[in-house]
Structure 1
Amino acid sequence: MKQDQPESSIVVCPDGPLIVRGDFEIVTPSGLPVPRDRQTVALCRCGASAIKPYCDGTHKFTKFRSGPAVQEGPAPEDG
């Protein structure tokens, strides 16, 4: 990973999943690790995925809406 990029990042996709990139661990409510084999994953937000916690695209068929759009502006600076 480039030095100017964070170790991990989360992108909120409008009406879709959370795209998580980088070095992170996903765990169940009891703390057990959830297997993953990729550096980048899409996490379900609609609740209808057959492969939770991962997104399978079902949000498109259920017409999931995430609510008001996130306001985009300049990226925050590390300080």
Structure 2
Amino acid sequence: QPGESQTISFILDKRNLASFDTSTTTWIAEPGMYAVKIGASSTDYILSASFNLENELLVKKETKALAPTELINELKPVEKLNK
């Protein structure tokens, strides 16, 4: 109902931060600053916090079962150009 509020809580663990590294077949959480934003979207938020992960965290080592037999062209981030 309008005007009501509710308290929620959640646990953010290393699995939530992990990405897959194909060269080592591991899920890792990379070091750096992380931002947590609560709201309708990443640009429309009402609460935010940040934290620094100082060291890389190994989350899970996978096996190479069903590994691709051919090279896969992976998407890579493009550096922003100075205008």
Which has more strand, going by share of residues?
A: 2
| TM bucket normalised to smaller | under 0.3
TM-score normalised over the length of structure 1: 0.27
Larger radius of gyration: 2
TM-score normalised over the length of structure 2: 0.26
